[in-house]
Amino acid sequence: MSATTSNLEAPAPSRINREVLVKWAPLLVLGVLLLLFPALEWLEDFREGKDHIYLLDSRFFSIRNAARIAIAAAPALMVAIGVTFIILMGSIDLSMEGTVSVCAVLFAFMFLALGGTLASWAWIAIPGALVVGAVMGFLNGLVHVKLQIPSFMASLAMGFVGTGFALLLTGGDRIRIEDELFRSLLTVRWLNFPIMVYVALAMLLLAWFIQSRTTLGRNFYAVGGGEELAKASGLNVSRVRIMGFTLAGVFFAMGALLAVGRIGIAETATGNNFMFVSITAVVVGGTALWGGIGGVWNTLIGVLIVNVINNGMVVIGLPNWIQDATLGLLVITAVVLSTDRKSVSFVK
Amino acid sequence: MDIEKLKPHFPWITLLVLVLIVGVVNPVFFDPAGLVSLVADVVPLFIMALGMTFAIYIGGIDLSMQQMANMVTVIATVYLANFGIGVALIAILAGFIVGGISGYVTTRLYVPSFVSTLAMGFVALSIAKWLSGQRALHMDATLRNDSFGWMFGNTAGIPHELVIAGLLLFIAWFLQTRTTFGRSLKAVGAGELAAVASGLNVDRVKILAFAISGVFAAIAGLMFSVKLSGGDANLANGFLLLAIVAVLVGGTPLTGGVGGVINTLIGTLIVMVIRAAMVYLEIDATQQQMIFGIVLIAAIALTIDRSKLRGIVK
């Protein structure tokens, strides 16, 4: 089997080699999807004999729908950016569901206790939630690094603890945040897009800055590219890892804030589904699970791919049970395509 | 006394100590009838944990078990009318196939098992949602009793669930210790590269391990659906954490190679005693998940073989 693969990849001189393809594939996929869903709509209307100009009459390819996709994608983007840093280091963080729930619930408690409107001291709840996220991420990193537990298991366990803690805090209740000023994240629109979309974009730029213009960001790549090498060149890998998990926690908290802003409710279930969606988005965006390759822009593409698929399927009228399986197969395909099989001996 | 020599004995000592503590604080715990029903209640979890043991024994993990069980509850409920007891065969086959695909994706396509099983779990979820129409389904009571009534009930004071659990434990134990396949599992768990070098068909062993894990998840799902007389896509939720905890507290480390199904029996009993203690101490259900999460971290930290982590796990 390995012999045939190397034969297939043999024609190296051509411009389009595997590396280039893997690098641009996510963007290509996104482009194809953006054209595919309107095409399917067009086909359906054409069959029924309705007038339909491709793209112009599309329900999918419209600004209203773009806003809908952006709103759905914003919280997921925050969470996915957080886990991107971790995956860049070659680790994984599966604690996001717990962290998001705890941050959402504690944010709601703080917000209501301090006055319940952004116009009062309750604004402190926002930095407060970010601190909660940082602490959870820090603990997560400590468990992973100090107890030497593989990150997927350490973070999965911490995620369970987080969900349990959120349940303990709420006792299963939902907490409503009805402050108009805070809900303006969703309700106030600039150029057709609600404020939360711009907040998410600002955070994306911040993440990009951290990734490309800070020592910490470069250290993520160094650890992911080769941990032994990074260690040998004097890098304190344990510290980088713990800082990475802490940073991820802050972004999870940001995701929690946007999620609460979107539905106006904080509960234990706020964190549901973030794990699979964010991991899928990161991997589908082209950040390699082995570390060192990719970054936050890949994650943006990945989040958009996932949300475009989810939205497009609804628009063209496919039942929503298909979505889970589609994402499942998508993540497997993405990992397979991004894995250079010659460099991996085996996986567990 | 060397702590490494003591390590294999930790699980049963823990169990004994826990039982004694709970028993002294609350003597009612030793009431035979209560104890039997306590053990009978934990059977579906035990079956799931047995399957998880195979995945962890080779150094992998199966995060799809919960969704697999969910899928089977739906399959069992939907097809009970058509196939009667034959539904058990369909369930087992479904578990074998989905588990086998996870295994194939892990070994042949080099996707780490926590991703491949997570992904296949969502495929199973899709199937469950599709078959159930996203509703909670109910079994027809007479049909259920005709086909699966034997699963629950008592013979000479022994609940049938315990007999089923004992039988499955025996099968798993036999597979693990008395067959070439079991030996191969140990070889793969102890050192995969060495196993490859010695000419073992490692891929086949690993794929089979995941398939077996799927089968046990399916059997657990079948028991759930019969017990609760229905099926839906969320019925078995909450059991993934407990299944992992049961395997790890039992002394099978995340790195694989040692431990096994007997350890999982002890681990499941530990989980059961902790649960009973929490009920007695009036720690309500909302707090249990957090406590088990912490127990899980402690169990991993105590059992994991750190010499094997080098270069494999990040």
Sorted by where each begins, the domain ranges of chain B are: 37-304
pLDDT score, position A98: 96
Contact of B72 with B221, CB cutoff 8 Å: yes
Chain B's closest residue to A92, CA to CA, is: B314
pLDDT at A6 over 50: no
pLDDT score, position B235: 87
pLDDT score, position B286: 73
- Please write the tens of the pLDDT for every residue from A85-110: 999 999 999 999 999 999 999 999 99
- Tens of pLDDT, residue by residue, chain B (314 residues): 566 777 788 889 989 999 999 888 888 888 888 888 889 889 999 999 999 999 999 989 999 999 999 999 999 999 998 998 999 999 999 999 999 999 999 999 999 999 999 999 999 999 999 999 989 999 888 888 888 888 888 788 788 999 999 999 999 999 999 999 999 999 998 888 889 899 999 999 999 999 999 999 999 999 999 999 989 988 888 899 999 999 999 989 888 888 899 999 999 999 999 988 888 887 777 778 899 999 999 988 888 877 776 544 45
Looking at residue B182, its amino acid is G
Looking at residue A121, its amino acid is W
Instruction: Give CA–CA dist B268/B248, Å, rounded.
Output: 10
pLDDT at A9 over 60: no
All residues at 6 or more sequence positions from A65 whose CB lies less than 8 Å from its CB, including other chains: A59, A311, A315
* Residues 210-239 of chain B whose Cβ lies under 8 A from any Cβ of chain A: none
CB A328 to CB B126 under 8 A? yes
Instruction: Give CA–CA dist A248/A242, Å, rounded.
Output: 10
Give the nearest partner residue to A347 out of B111, B193, B306, using CB atoms.
B111
Instruction: Give CA–CA dist B138/B229, Å, rounded.
Output: 6
What residues in B contact A156, CB-CB < 8 Å? 63, 114
CB A164 to CB B304 under 8 A? no
Give the nearest partner residue to B292 out of A160, A321, A327, using CB atoms.
A160
Instruction: Give CA–CA dist A326/A319, Å, rounded.
Output: 12
Instruction: Give CA–CA dist B304/B253, Å, rounded.
Output: 5
- Go through the domains of chain A in sequence order and give each one's CATH number: 24-46+58-338 (1.10.3470)
CB A332 to CB B312 under 8 A? no
For chain A, helix (H) and strand (E) counts, in that order, are 14, 4
Residue B286 touches chain A, beta carbons under 8 Å: yes
Strand partners, B1: none
Locus of tokens 């705890």: A102
Neighbour-count burial for A2-37, b at 16+ CB within 10 Å, e otherwise: eeeeeeeeeeeeeeeeeeeebeebbbebbeeebebb
Give the nearest partner residue to B313 out of A150, A161, A336, using CB atoms.
A150
Q: Which residue in B74, B286, B294, B295 has the most chain A C-beta atoms within 10 A of its own C-beta, making it the best mutation to test that interface? A: B286
pLDDT score, position B311: 47
**A346 band by pLDDT with thresholds 50, 70 and 90:** low
CB A148 to CB B61 under 8 A? no
Mean local confidence (pLDDT), A33-40: 93
- Please write the tens of the pLDDT for every residue from A105-118: 999 999 999 988 88
What residues in A contact B256, CB-CB < 8 Å? 348
- Please write the tens of the pLDDT for every residue from A284-336: 999 988 888 899 999 999 999 999 999 999 988 898 889 899 999 999 998 88
Residue B93 touches chain A, beta carbons under 8 Å: no
Nearest-CA distance A166 → chain B (Å):
9
pLDDT at A341 over 80: no
CB B114 to CB A92 under 8 A? yes
pLDDT score, position A348: 67
Nearest-CA distance A274 → chain B (Å):
13
pLDDT score, position A52: 85
pLDDT score, position A14: 56
Could you give the C-alpha distances from B15 to A103, B191, B240, in angstroms and in order? 36, 30, 21
pLDDT score, position A122: 92
pLDDT at A248 over 50: yes
Q: How many residues comprise chain B?
A: 314
CB A325 to CB B127 under 8 A? yes
Q: Which residue in B101, B102, B111 has the most chain A C-beta atoms within 10 A of its own C-beta, making it the best mutation to test that interface? A: B111
Inter-chain CB pairs, A–B, below 8 Å? 160
pLDDT at A5 over 70: no
CATH topology for the B37-304 domain = ABC transporter involved in vitamin B12 uptake, BtuC (1.10.3470)
pLDDT score, position B203: 93
Give the nearest partner residue to A147 out of B126, B202, B301, using CB atoms.
B301
CB A347 to CB B125 under 8 A? no
